[in-house]
C-alpha cells in the first residue's frame, strides 16, 4: 500500500506525540509512586506515634480491668465451684473403683483369688478431669471477653468526626 508523503509525515508526528505522551506518563507514574511511598512512611510514623499509644492507653484503661475481673471471676468459679464438684465426683469414682477391685480380688473361684485386668475403654479418669477443667477455663475466658465487650459501647465511637489532616 502506497502512502503519500504527507500521510507518512502525519503518522511520524503522531508516533512522536504518542512516544512523548508515554514518556510523560512514565514520569508521572514514577512521581505518583514516590508520593505513595512517602505517604506509607508517614502513615507508619503516625501509627507508631499516635495510634498505638492511644490504643494501648485505651486498652489499659478500659479493657484490661474488665478482663482481669473476668479472670478473677473465672478463677473463683473454678476454685469454689468446679474443683469441689470435680473432687467429689473423682472421690466417688475412686471409691467405687476401689470397692469393685476389692470384690474382684476377694472372689475365690476354686480356692484361689481371681484377678481380672480391666480393659481400657475410652477416656480415663485423668482425661475426664482435664476435660472438665478445660471447659471451666473456657467458660471463664468467654465470661471475661463478654464483660470486656459489653462494658461501654461508647468506647468504640470516636469523640471527634474524622477530618482531613492539616498539611
In a domain, 63, yes or no: yes
Flag whether pLDDT at 166 surpasses 60: no
In a domain, 113, yes or no: no
**What is the span of the domain harbouring residue 96?**
5-105+122-151
Which residues make Cβ contacts (< 8 Å) with residue 132, sequence separation at least 6?
82, 86
In a domain, 110, yes or no: no
Cell numbers found for residue 92? 466417688
Give pLDDT, residue 97: 80
Which parts of 5-158 fold into alpha helices (H)?
Answer: 5-46, 52-58, 64-77, 83-106, 125-150
Look up the pTM and report it. Answer: 0.36
Tens digit of pLDDT for each residue in 60-106? 888 888 888 888 888 887 788 777 887 777 778 778 888 777 776 66
User: Comparing C-alpha atoms, which of 147, 143, 131 is closest to residue 90?
Assistant: 131
| CB of 68 closer than 8 Å to CB of 141 | no
In a domain, 115, yes or no: no
In a domain, 161, yes or no: no
In a domain, 46, yes or no: yes
Q: Around Cβ 63, how many Cβ atoms within 10 Å?
A: 19
| CB of 78 closer than 8 Å to CB of 137 | yes
The tally of domains found in the chain comes to 1
Which residues make Cβ contacts (< 8 Å) with residue 148, sequence separation at least 6?
63, 66, 67, 70
| CB of 152 closer than 8 Å to CB of 62 | yes
What is the average pLDDT across 11-39? 92
In a domain, 164, yes or no: no
In a domain, 167, yes or no: no
Tens digit of pLDDT for each residue in 104-137? 666 655 555 555 566 666 667 777 787 888 888 8
Amino acid at each position: 500500500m502506497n502512502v503519500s508523503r504527507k500521510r507518512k509525515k502525519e503518522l511520524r508526528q503522531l508516533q512522536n506525540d504518542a512516544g512523548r505522551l508515554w514518556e510523560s506518563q512514565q514520569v508521572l507514574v514514577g512521581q505518583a509512586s514516590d508520593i505513595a511511598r512517602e505517604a506509607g512512611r508517614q502513615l507508619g510514623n503516625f501509627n507508631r506515634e499516635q495510634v498505638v499509644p492511644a490504643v494501648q492507653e485505651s486498652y489499659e484503661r478500659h479493657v484490661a480491668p474488665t478482663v482481669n475481673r473476668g479472670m478473677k471471676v473465672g478463677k473463683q468459679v473454678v476454685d469454689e465451684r468446679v474443683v469441689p464438684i470435680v473432687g467429689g465426683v473423682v472421690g466417688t469414682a475412686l471409691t467405687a473403683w476401689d470397692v469393685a477391685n476389692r470384690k474382684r480380688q476377694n472372689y475365690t473361684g476354686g480356692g484361689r483369688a481371681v484377678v481380672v485386668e480391666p480393659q481400657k475403654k475410652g477416656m480415663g479418669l485423668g482425661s475426664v478431669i482435664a476435660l472438665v477443667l478445660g471447659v471451666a477455663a473456657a467458660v471463664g475466658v468467654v465470661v471475661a471477653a463478654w464483660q470486656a465487650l459489653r462494658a461501654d459501647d461508647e468506647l468504640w465511637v470516636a469523640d471527634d468526626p474524622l477530618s482531613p489532616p492539616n498539611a
